[in-house]
Amino acid sequence: GENVEQHPSTLSVQEGDSAVIKCTYSDSASNYFPWYKQELGKGPQLIIDIRSNVGEKKDQRIAVTLNKTAKHFSLHITETQPEDSAVYFCAASIGRGSTLGRLYFGRGTQLTVWP
């Protein structure tokens, strides 16, 4: 199956700085890449996603980039705020056949934004 690696496992930034989290995947057939944010004591929530026919997607302060050739994708958060502090997960989906609907998750990045 798919293998997703996520780095770094922890990230500390000053309020207002940018944060970047990177993921790599192993199966070139993967075509859907969501990012989730998990606050303490809650379930993960989707913050942005991208499909393999798109190289970049933005939503206000967050953006995701995808490099299919290198099989990696990244989450960029600009102008970070203390409320961005959470665990972030990347995931990949092959999305066909017996794997339809399955997501393969990275191990998560604990982001801390210091005021």
Partner 1 sequence: DAGITQSPRHKVTETGTPVTLRCHQTENHRYMYWYRQDPGHGLRLIHYSYGVKDTDKGEVSDGYSVSRSKTEDFLLTLESATSSQTSVYFCAISEPNRGRSETQYFGPGTRLLVL
CB atoms within 10 A of CB 37: 20
Peptide linkage before 8 cis (omega within 30 of 0)? yes
The pattern of x and - marking residues 42 through 81 that bind partner 1 according to CB under 8 A reads: xxxxx--x--------------------------------
Per-residue buried b or exposed e for 11-25, using 16+ beta carbons within 10 Å of the residue's own CB: bebeeeeebbbbbbb
Cβ at position 34, least distance to partner 1 in Å: 6
C-alpha 27/C-alpha 36 separation (Å) is: 20
Q: Which residues pair with 23 in a beta bridge?
A: 6, 73
Q: Between 80 and 89, whose beta carbon lies closer to partner 1?
A: 89
Contacting partner 1 (CB under 8 A), which of 31, 58, 77, 80? 31
Return d(Cα 80, Cα 28) in angstroms, integer: 32
Minimal distance in Å, beta carbon 16 to partner 1? 29
Q: Is 5 in the site for partner 1 (CB under 8 A)?
A: no
Q: State which residue, 57 or 78, has the beta carbon closest to partner 1.
A: 57
Positions touching partner 1 (CB under 8 A) are: 1, 6, 31-32, 34, 36, 41-46, 49, 89, 93-96, 98, 100-103, 105-108
